[in-house]
Copies of this chain bind each other. A is one copy, B any other.
């Protein structure tokens, strides 16, 4: 490599570092806005967000960036980090540059209008109010796919934004397997006379005690409080500003402690990923989870595979009792376990239990695929949606607020995002299967409150790489195979057969 190229590589990395620094500042601003920023300062803060975001956007599509890409692409002997950073930048550059500025501006305005219209439409359960906006958004996205191009299926281009490597072919396969396995299971449970008593879950549990318990579990998981903190918010999230500062937020419901406890475990799973990314990647776009799906695999692994496991509660149920207000006194561990694993069909995705959840996602996937392949029209969405809920879950929304209008995603044009949630679940089950080979004492670890080896395994196999590996590359390296739905199906079948004594 020539001295000249070395110099350009160095400059390029400095350039990228600046973009990351601005993104980190933005990350802190978002965290602050969602955890207690004074409301009268929000308008001006939005200006700051706008300035910083557009600076990052401009840097990602600048002539300088184009020059870096042109001079470094194909260079021999670039470091692995530079090479992969360059790929990320190039992907961004291409995606953003291919959209004419005029279209992009119109689209941004449409997005922000659509989101506020959606909010009102949902409140009024009025789909027709939202319909023209959704139609325009879909039209724009189709136009963008035209600019970007596609392979195999138009919808693949959208999937690629959230889960590189995942295609309609793959999803059709795994989702149909999952659907075929879960629907009968859900039906059997509905017909079963075994119904867990869950009434104790809704007894008063003081917020500060919930917080203390949540902190205890985070600590058990291996969350590093020198590299993070737990705050309160309305819509919980985790955010990795850098690996040394990964913050978790949660929401407390004093009449349903599951919100905070399982929510914190979920966000804690995301946070462990971000805390354990290799420090070598700091200052590059590789310093983050590799995809939405792999990220979700970490949160769902902890929330559900660990957090709703019998052995986990063997250890932690007694701890929970100490913090509770006496509501667990007459509930034995088995009854407790069955109650937190209750499953019954429901209309709202974010309130769904962990068995029916994938069906909510599959419905959205099928609809999105249909939209982008011109098989479904926006105006028909309410009916298509309701029919699918009736077919898969046996229940039908009574209005569009609890149906097609329930999620914010489409109003922001985030098509292709929903599948990540179910992919994460499949990845998680597949990782668990691989983990058991290395940690045959997995159940004992859980039963003794020793979760550290689990985090270490995930760090060694997944976390540390950040975006150095693509999702399917990680999956293959860890499990020796491609995406395979059978692990999730087995997990769910075994678990719910036992819980409901089917």
Contact = CB atoms under 8 A, between A and B. Distances in A.
Chief secondary structure at chain A's binding surface:
helix
- Of A44, A227, A244, chain B has the most CB atoms within 10 Å of the CB of A44
Contacts of A43: 244
Contact of A45 (B37, B225, B245): B245
A114 to B, nearest CB: 26
Interface string A38-68: 1111111101100110000000000000000
A25 B241 CA distance: 14
8 contacts: A17-B51, A22-B51, A22-B52, A38-B227, A38-B245, A40-B227, A41-B241, A45-B241
A25 B282 CA distance: 20
Given A28-B28, A38-B226, A41-B241, 15 more contacts: A17-B47, A25-B25, A25-B29, A28-B29, A32-B32, A38-B225, A38-B228, A38-B245, A39-B226, A40-B226, A41-B227, A41-B243, A44-B244, A44-B245, A47-B283
A47 B21 contact: yes
A245 B37 contact: yes
A241 B45 CA distance: 9
Interface string A279-305: 000110000000000000000000000
A430 interface: no
A52 B38 contact: no
A282 B282 CA distance: 34
A387 interface: no
Given A41-B242, A244-B42, A48 B24 contact: yes
B282 A38 contact: no
B24 A242 contact: no
Nearest to A27: B48
Nearest to A48: B21
A225 B40 CA distance: 9
Given A41-B245, A244-B42, A244-B44, A52 B21 contact: yes
A91 interface: no
A379 interface: no
A484 to B, nearest CB: 37
Contacts of A42: 244
Given A38-B228, A229-B36, A282 B245 contact: no
Interface string A1-42: 000000000000000011001101100110010001111111
A51 B21 contact: yes
A406 B43 CA distance: 42
A38 B283 contact: no
Contacts of A24: 44-45, 48
B245 A40 contact: yes
A309 interface: no
A245 B48 CA distance: 13
Interface in A96-114: none
A459 to B, nearest CB: 15
Contacts of A254: none
A224 interface: yes
Contact of A51 (B18, B28, B45): B18
What 3 pairs between A and B have smallest CB-CB spacing?
Answer: A41-B245, A40-B244, A41-B244
